[in-house]
Structure 1
Amino acid sequence: MSEWLALVLIILATCGAVFLFAVVRQRRAGATEDPSETPDVIEYMTMMLGVVYAIVLGLAIAGVWEARGSAEDWVRQEAQALHEMDVRAGVFPPDVRDGIRADINGYVDYVLEDEWPLLVDHGELGAEGDVLLRELREVITGREPTTVRETESYQGLIDQLARVDEARVGRAQSAEPTMPLAVWIGLVSGAVAVIGMVFVLQIRRSGRELLLAGMFTAMIAFLLFLVYHFDAPYSRGLSDVTESYTRHFPEAGGDS
C-alpha cells in the first residue's frame, strides 16, 4: 500500500469517526441541549489550544522540511565533490589518473548499489564505504606532484576529498529521524485534544458544522502526515536523490 493511499484511508477514517461521534452525541443529547449555554471560558480555551497547537505543528513541519533540504544538500555536495576530483585527476599521468578515477567510480558504484538501500532501510552507512574512501586517499597521497599543474590539482583533490568525507558524515546524520518519540506523542495527543474541544462546544448535526469539523480533522491528519513523510528524507521525503550521482557519473550503479 502506498503512503498516499494510506493517507487517504486515514483521513476518511478520522472524518468518519468525527461524523459518527457527532451524530451519536447529538442523538443522546436530545433536543434539550443548547449550544448557546457553552461557557465563554471553554470557547477561549479552545481558541488558545488551537493557536498553540498550530504553532507547534508549524514548527514541526518547518523542522522536518529543513532536515529534508539538509539531506539533499549533503548528497549534492558529495556528488559534486566526487565529480571535481574526477576532473582534477586529469592532469596526472595516465597510471595515477586512471587509479584515482577507478577508485572514485568504485566508491560511487558502492554508494548506489549497496549503501543506498542500507541507508533507506536501516538509516546507516556501510563500513566498506569508509574503506573505499581510505583507499582513495592513499592513491591520491601516494605520489608527490612534480609540476605546477599537478601541485594545484593535488591540493584541490585533498580539499574535495575532505568535502566528500564531510558530506558522507552529514548524509548519515540526516538519515536519522528528526522528530523524537516525545514530540510525536505531543503532536498526536494535541490533535486529539484540539479535535475533542470542537465537540465540547456542543457541535450540532447540521451539514455545515459537520463539513467544517470534517475539513478541520482532515487538515490536521494531512499536516501530521507531512511531518511523518519528511521525517525520513532518504526513504520518503526525497523522490530521486541518487540523480545527483548519476548526473555526474552516468554509468555508475549498473542496473540499479
Structure 2
Amino acid sequence: MTEIIAIVLGVAMLSAACVLVRHRYWPADPDDEPREDVAEYISMMVGVLYALILGLSLVSVWETRSGAEGHVQTEASAAHQVYLLADGLPPGNAEQVRTSMAAYVHHVVGAEFPSMVGGQPLGAEGWTLLHQVRTANQVPDGATPVQQATVQEVLAQLSTLDDARRGREADVLNTLSPTLWLGLIIGGALTVAFMFMFGVKRNLTHVTMVMGLTALIAFTVVLVYQLNQPFSGLLAVDASSFTRYFPLA
C-alpha cells in the first residue's frame, strides 16, 4: 500500500512541478486571445473518451479477478468434499483417496500458487495427482449400494474440481489487452496535457487542478495494474481457501 501511495504522490508532485515551471518560464500573456470553442470541445471529448477507456479496463480486470477468486473457492470446496466423501468408501480406497487428495492440495498450495504469482503456467504435475485420486476412487467387488453411490458422487466432485482448475489455469494468462494499456497511457497523457494547453492564470488553482487530476489518473492506472494480476499484489487471490479446508497444506 505504501508503494501505491508513493507512486500516486510522486506523479502528482511531478505534475505540480511542471505547472510551476510553465508559469515561471511560459506565463500567460494578458493580450492572448481566448481559446477557440472547438479546442475546448476537443479537450472535453478527450476526457470523456478516456473515462470510457478507464471504465472498460476496470470492468475487464475486475471480472478477471472475481473469476479467479471463484475458481479457487470452487476448486478448494470440491477437493474438501472429495476428502470428506472418502469416508463412505471401503477402508482401503478411502485411505488412498484421502492421501492422494492431500498430496494434490499440498502441491497446489506449495508449488502452483508461488508459480502463479510470477504468471507462470501450472504444468502437468497437478493433473497427474488428480489422476491418482481418480484411480483410487474405484468400485471394488462386493461394494454396497451406498459405496457405489459415494463413488459416483466423488466423480461428480472431481469433475467440478477439473473445471475450476482449468479456469484457474486460464486466469493466470488472462491479462488486460495491450491495446487497452496503450489507451490508458496515451489517454492519460493527453488528458493531463490539455490541462497545460488551456491554462489557468492563478498558479495555486492550476497546480491544485493538475495535481488532483494526475493523482486520480495515476491511482486508477495502478488499481488496474493490481487487478490485472489476480494472483499477486495487494488484491491477490491467495491459497487461503485451500488452507482453510486443509490446514496442513
- Identify whether the pair has TM-score above 0.5, normalized to the shorter chain: yes
Letter paired with 1:90: D
| Alignment correspondent of 2:122 | 125
| Alignment correspondent of 1:174 | 171
1:116 aligns with 2:92: no
1:53 aligns with 2:50: yes
1:66 aligns with 2:63: yes
Tell whether the 8 Å contact from 1:22 to 1:203 is kept in structure 2 after alignment. no
Deviates further, 129-138 or 139-148: 139-148
| Alignment correspondent of 1:235 | 232
Letter paired with 1:86: Y
Q: CA deviation at 1:163?
A: 1.0
> In proportion to residue count, which structure has more helix?
1
Listed as ranges, the matches of 1:24-63 within 5 Å are 24-30=21-27, 32-33=29-30, 37-63=34-60
Tell whether the 8 Å contact from 1:35 to 1:203 is kept in structure 2 after alignment. no
Deviates further, 133-142 or 23-32: 23-32
Tell whether the 8 Å contact from 1:203 to 1:209 is kept in structure 2 after alignment. yes
| Alignment correspondent of 2:10 | 13
| Alignment correspondent of 1:203 | 200
1:146 aligns with 2:143: yes
1:248 aligns with 2:245: yes
Letter paired with 1:52: L
> Aligned equivalents of 2:100 and 2:78: distance in 1?
14
> Aligned equivalents of 1:215 and 1:178: distance in 2?
29
| Alignment correspondent of 2:96 | 99
Q: CA deviation at 1:154?
A: 1.2
**How has the CA–CA distance of structure 1 residues 34 and 181 changed in structure 2, closer, same or farther, with 3 Å as cutoff?**
farther
Q: CA deviation at 1:79?
A: 0.5
Aligned length: 249
Tell whether the 8 Å contact from 1:145 to 1:154 is kept in structure 2 after alignment. no
Deviates further, 26-35 or 183-192: 26-35
1:161 to 158, 161, 182: 158
**How has the CA–CA distance of structure 1 residues 35 and 133 changed in structure 2, closer, same or farther, with 3 Å as cutoff?**
farther
Deviates further, 81-90 or 140-149: 140-149
SS in 2 for 1:217: helix
**How has the CA–CA distance of structure 1 residues 32 and 223 changed in structure 2, closer, same or farther, with 3 Å as cutoff?**
same
Tell whether the 8 Å contact from 1:75 to 1:244 is kept in structure 2 after alignment. yes
Tell whether the 8 Å contact from 2:16 to 2:211 is kept in structure 1 after alignment. yes
SS in 1 for 2:238: coil
> Over aligned residue pairs, what C-alpha RMSD do you find?
1.9
Letter paired with 2:114: P
Letter paired with 1:17: L
For normalisation by structure 2, the TM-score amounts to: 0.93
SS in 2 for 1:54: helix
Q: CA deviation at 1:80?
A: 0.5
| Alignment correspondent of 2:223 | 226
Tell whether the 8 Å contact from 1:145 to 1:151 is kept in structure 2 after alignment. no
For normalisation by structure 1, the TM-score amounts to: 0.90
